[in-house]
Structure 1
Amino acid sequence: MSFEEAELLRLRAETFLRNAERLYAEGEYDLAAFGVEQYCQLMLKYKLLLKTGAYPRTHSLIRLVRELAKAAEGIKEVAEEAKKTGERKVVLISFSGHGLLDMANFADVLGFAKG
């Protein structure tokens, strides 16, 4: 996974959303709905890319949501194990199995965030 690819997905998603908002304001509801669907697909792929390092080549929102839920569940299991043992070492060992993770969210789950 490259940072550039992830950033491109996010930027394209935001462009689809802005375009959908404009189309909706102009009364082009069917095209606005298409833009929102594209936004959703690209944002799900972006999140998957950040969490796992890859995403499936599909247009199915249902499949993308399921894949993201699976990735999140795996991350949750690692976080729970680290909390139980009190060892951050578990987290480091587990990273290789999960690819690149959204570190801020992961830190929140583990309770490592400042607060």
Structure 2
Amino acid sequence: MSGERPKRPLSAYMLWLNENREQIKKDNPGSKVTDIAKKGGELWRAMKDKSEWEQKAIKMKEDYNKAVKEYEANGGTDTGAGKKRKSKGAKPVKKSKKKETSEEEEEEDSE
């Protein structure tokens, strides 16, 4: 790994859809991408036994969790995602503190 955080694993539905998309296209020639996705959703909901796909998804999630632990153990962090969230919340607080400081400084200067 070159410092990239592991990508989140696919859901059971997405694993199934990726394997069955071509067949759905063949069964529904001339369909748009949105129609293929809609048909895929209908077929998935109608399936009685999804255990094969659910087991694959569980395995992928376990592999992902292991990869994330290794990534974090090797110095990788979530700073990219964390910074974005923190900066949004922190900016207004800093601005208000600056205003208070500048007002106090103005008051001191006028005395």
Same-fold status (TM-score > 0.5):
no
With the length of structure 1 as denominator, give the TM-score of the two structures.
Answer: 0.35
- Which structure's relative contact order is higher, taking Cα pairs within 8 Å and 6+ residues apart? 2
